[in-house]
Amino acid sequence: MAEVAAERAPVVSSATTAWRSYVLPLVIFALFAAIPLLGQFTAEAYLLSLVTRVMIFAIAALSLDLLVGYGALVSFGHAAFMGIGAYAVGILASHGFGDALVALPVALAASALFAWLTGIVSLRTKGVYFIMITLAFGQMAFFTASSLAPYGGDDGLTLQSRSTVAGFDLLANDRVFYYVTFLCLVAIYLFCRALVRSRFGRVFRGARENETRMVTLGYDVYRYRLVAYVLAGMMAGLSGFLLANATNFVAPAYMSWQRSGELLIMIILGGIGSLNGAVIGTAAFLLLEEWLAGFTEHWKMIFGPFLVLAVVFVPGGLLGLSRFIMRRLRRG
């Protein structure tokens, strides 16, 4: 019996690895790609708007999971990068620069610059100190945006239309914008996946497990973390660019600490340290939020306890729960 079990173990492990690495991502992205087809049988505008929002926040969640799940860098100011990307679109549009070929590079550059400047300081701290200093920088960005009276201040800034692309209103069509967002999500997912599996990613993950050992081996851990922090900031800036175009509105609330907390909850709900989990957790969070809001205006009183129970009883997130169920089914 032991020999049979030993022979079956690698097969099960290989099948599980194949499921996580190839099948599950294909299923997730196939579902996203098929959503516009379902719009023919329901309220298309509402469905496209909802799922576009899910994909935009999934990009931000992937960027945060890169830091938290693979680098143990728990940032409580990650939404600041989203807000900076969104404000880059809004401020440029208010001055007549509404083309994506201008707004997108500026959004990415501004987010990267803020990540670099704050990362230089933040990454010299650890643990709770890192959490608090990222929170402080995030709130600094929030209050700076609130004080921008020419751009709406606390009330935010309304965009007249979505960004053009080389002068053409391609993004004005909801389906086109949906698939542009979809392609951005796929690109960010593949980039994060390649980064984590690369030599850079192995060093970055190694520093999470044993920083002293990595330093002893000759790696500049601080530099690796700073590069990862800047990349994560740029990816969040991309999500901010898309969010501003999706809503035609930007506001300081985009970079509040509550929004950063929501991003953390998304990756915890899906399963920390899993790119698939970041996407699934985001979808579960936003769809559950939308569903509960349809029942009562006090939906947060239901949503809060549910999240607490999910964290306590499903510590591995939704992906951990699915793995547990599959193991039980195989044993049965």
Query: Any idea where the domains of the chain sit in the sequence?
Result: 50-256
To the nearest whole percent, how much of the chain has pLDDT over 70?
90
Query: What's the mean pLDDT when you consider all of the chain?
Result: 87
Is the predicted pLDDT of residue 257 greater than 70, yes or no? yes
Of 57, 80, 60, nearest in space to 136 by CA = 80
- Band (pLDDT 50/70/90 cuts) for residue 7 is very low
The stretch 52-62 carries a mean pLDDT of: 96
- Band (pLDDT 50/70/90 cuts) for residue 10 is very low
Total length of the chain: 332
Among 16-20, 25-29, 83-87, 251-255, which is the least confidently predicted range? 16-20
Question: What's this model's pTM, rounded to 2 decimal places?
Answer: 0.91
- Band (pLDDT 50/70/90 cuts) for residue 44 is confident
Is the predicted pLDDT of residue 11 greater than 70, yes or no? no
Q: What is the pLDDT of residues 193-215, one digit of tens each?
A: 999 999 999 999 999 988 889 98
